[in-house]
Structure 1
């Protein structure tokens, strides 16, 4: 006898089987939906494989486990934590929020979480798609994928970038199934923040994703990271194997995943350099799954026609460095030596002075953090926007300037602070010190403006809406950048001083 859904249930029939979801706050929600086969046992460190499907009705009312990752009880002093148990290697699931599982063909928003390639989950409440689905009449999908050593370790035998194969599998699943949830498979926006923004660009530029993505939202993409070649990645894999006490990845296939995650902790210490963002695991420019830098991939071929919204926060690097006592105590000499890595020894003192002048009262630590923000986020983002504008491709650019009140204001407008504003879901962020103490009127007004802009872009490819100043695309003559602060303002060339400073450095170093 067929199951008849109750008032708090909803059912969809897919090629892979029937799903029973829940009605939550007027939305139909489906959680823990498998989009690929469990990457366990012989499928560990293999590209994602199709899921075999299921018989009967599969319960989709509970989140699937998050990808295995390092976990610190009690969280951290900035986000309060970015990953919660349960964790399990069988993690290739996604969640769907929709106003109704009908044939309305609503625009689709796919969210890819960040987390430095080592943390996070599409099932975290902070990434709930409910606000976008309810406020924007969108179908929203969040994705879990392999991170840390299970997603990013590279080997000559098995290759790498398994995280990307997961995301491609999820995108194909969305294309093939989202109409059953009331979504339009021809109007898909993929959005991500930080490492998730790198993923978004890599997906959009991947040949196998051609025609699957219409728009992308890139929030704080660290395009300035030096993504390694296979040769450099093999050196990092060798260090990881040494920490894990194994001769090869094949020898680790029989081990339980907690051992593999535990060994990853030691790689932080092995790869950390003073004055650089720690990244023990990185995407690999392997010539196959990832043939070029994600920012370049998004600028070539069919991906060049994808509509783009990109931005960063004013003090990105404060997230990782403002509370670090080893950074706080740095002197001018040590920071100047670090600047020399970028500008050359001869130009480093002048660059230090330029950064110091741009922030009156700046300490050496402030100069260092502004440099890292420029290197990793702002300048690569500006160069990407400049290239798009030069090619006549529309791109909308923003900078998030509202500072955090936490830790006596030391965090500034730090990395991740724009997330609750874009999602419009501060009720899910009570655990995060980063957002504590923001004036409610300012906070809620700015959240309304940003949230509606993200919705407008996902629906139309243009972020403008009636409750904000006009936001023009970034052009070479205007360099329009929307400044999200207590007062929202469209400005020209907000990064001009840094842009000219870094352009001069590039010319000197290349001559």
Structure 2
């Protein structure tokens, strides 16, 4: 995209350009192109003309990842993080069936979206949630969970694979869209052992009380154990954590990271299957071309 917009095609120029110059060019291209998904406009790109030639699923199918263990997963409320980008007139947690990230791109998708909405809304774990919450959950699956599960399913055919769902409710009352949810990136203070530092507080807030403090420290201990076990051996199991079952596409065993870590088979599976079908006919990047 940047090459197309600037006309600079020489690899030598791009490799030698100062960082400040590249950042300036990126900002100028972003302003010129614009997009309802402008935050993702410089996301990784693959294809025959790029450094990365294949999608992850194509790479797995080609045998490029055989024997490489994988641990992959998603946060329970990924998109709530993007409330940091809210404007006075647009709030990501206040989307409606008529006005949302999907209909912004294709207004004609609303009837199909309503079918999905009804499915998501009937789940007992979501009956109390608002219209905006349900739309956000649909966006989470579209942007994160479906593809992550698809990669896990394919990789499990060629190597041991482990899937997780991180579901710790953070404490940021000044960010109502994120408060008591598990937004994108909120697992990082647990994995890197910083829940009791200012950097950790910036991500997940301070403990609500002593019980919450104990819960988050226990979860931090488990998270560090899991990630270091996997980094060393390719297997997250060990120590005092519950047994983490190798991923199977049929049962989708998922380690749920919350106050009591546990394995749950195929959480929100009907939603996953319905969104997978929806994604076959609606691609946000195709719609933007």
TM-score exceeds 0.5: yes
User: Which residue, 247, 256, 268 being the options, matches 1:483?
Assistant: 256
1:415 aligned partner: 184
How much is the aligned-residue C-alpha RMSD, in angstroms?
A: 3.2
8 Å CA contact 1:340–1:347 kept in 2: the answer is no
Within a 5 Å distance, the mapping from 1:319-334 to structure 2 comes to: 319-321=81-83, 324-325=86-87, 326-327=90-91, 328-334=93-99
Unaligned runs of 5+ in 2: 283-289
Per-residue Cα deviation, 1:212-239 (whole angstroms, up to 9, x for no partner) = xxxxxxxxxxxxxxxxxxxxx3xx4333
Counterpart pick for 1:435 among 190, 204, 213: 204
Q: Distance in 2 between matches of 1:383 and 1:443?
A: 30
Deviations 1:324-381 (A, max 9, x none): 1413454331128529859945422111222333423433432332222111210001
Partner Cα separation in structure 2 for residue 430 and residue 352 of structure 1: 36
1:285 aligns with 2:51: no
Does residue 376 (structure 1) correspond to residue 143 (structure 2)? The answer is yes
Which structure's residues are more often strand, by fraction?
Answer: 1
Count of aligned pairs between the two proteins: 268
1:489 Cα deviation from its structure 2 partner: 0.9
Does 2:238 correspond to 1:465?
yes
Matches within 5 A, 1:17-96: none
**Greater helix fraction, Structure 1 or Structure 2:** 2
Give 1:383 shift.
1.1
Counterpart Cα distance in 2 of 1:314 and 1:373: 8
Corresponding residue for residue 72 of structure 2: 310
SS in 1 for 2:118: helix
Higher relative contact order (CA 8 A, sep 6+): 2
- Report the Cα distance in structure 2 between the residues aligned to 1:341 and 1:305, rounded to whole angstroms: 41
Match of 1:258? 20
CA shift, 1:294, in A, is: 3.0
Q: Secondary structure at the match of 2:99?
A: helix
Q: How does 1:52-451 map to 2 (within 5 A)?
A: 233=1, 236-239=2-5, 241=6, 248=8, 257-274=19-36, 276=37, 278-287=39-48, 289-321=51-83, 324-325=86-87, 326-327=90-91, 328-335=93-100, 338=103, 344-358=109-123, 359-389=126-156, 391=157, 393-406=159-172, 407=174, 410-411=177-178, 412-427=181-196, 429-430=198-199, 432-438=201-207, 439-451=212-224
Q: SS of the residue aligned with 1:371?
A: helix
2: CA distance between counterparts of 1:323 and 1:249? 32
TM-score (norm 2): 0.78
Which structure has the larger Rg?
A: 1
TM-fit CA distance, 1:260: 3.3
* TM-score normalised over the length of structure 1: 0.47
Instruction: Write out per-residue CA displacement over residues 391-433 of structure 1, whole angstroms, 9 at most, x where no aligned residue.
Output: 2632100000002111355211011111121122335553752
Query: Secondary structure of 1:291's match?
Result: coil
